[in-house]
Amino acid sequence: MRTRKPRGDRTTALALICTALWLLWIAPAGADPAPAQAAAPAIAVLDFELNDLTLLPGTPEELARTASLRPLVEQGLKAQGSDQLVSIDAAALAQANVGVGYLYDHPEAAAALGRARGADLVLVGRLHKPSFLFAYLMARLVDSRTGTVVRDLVVEAKGQTGPATARAAARLAEQVRETLARH
């Protein structure tokens, strides 16, 4: 009776030969075997606009709350690792925004504004307040290259306090991060 060589020796030899061939011919010289991470997109967060449908629209407190949203969302994005935030000055924003809600309703105009300032994405937001009890942070993430809406984002803010607004802005920033992870 003949003795056979164990199969493990042939399998190991074949694996070593395949690895050597891959290293010599298939893998490009000097290439990093780990996949390269794509650069984080530059994001422009525009000032939020107030869409107040209550019986007392546009109170100074609500205007201040609305003005606090852009910095809060930017802060949330920075906390999650978005280090490429593009600033758009008030004059350029005012020139591009023909009227209240214009940039929100015309993503191609928001994209042109962002593209001109070097942003890959533009976050256009509004504070929609149908009641004194709650409000919605509504935002559109727009691709500056194509002018298309990448995703519509909505976060409910219950109450009119500063902490409730900050929590809602942080949740909105989290939704942006989740969208970027899938985009």
Q: In this predicted model, what pLDDT tens digit does every residue of 62-91 receive, in sequence order? A: 999 999 999 999 999 999 888 799 999 999
Angle, helix 60-79 to helix 162-182, in steps of 10 degrees: 40
Q: Which of 137, 116, 151, 145 is nearest to 48 (CA)?
A: 137
pLDDT of residue 27: 47
Stretch 37-60: mean pLDDT: 91
pLDDT of residue 35: 46
CATH of domain 43-182: 3.40.50.10070
pLDDT of residue 18: 54
What does pLDDT average to over the chain? 86
Distances from the Cα of 34 to the Cα of 26, 30, 49, 105, 122, angstroms: 15, 12, 43, 42, 30
Please, where are the H alpha helices in the chain?
A: 7-21, 60-79, 90-96, 102-105, 107-116, 162-182
Task: Retrieve residue 32's tokens.
Answer: 């990093």
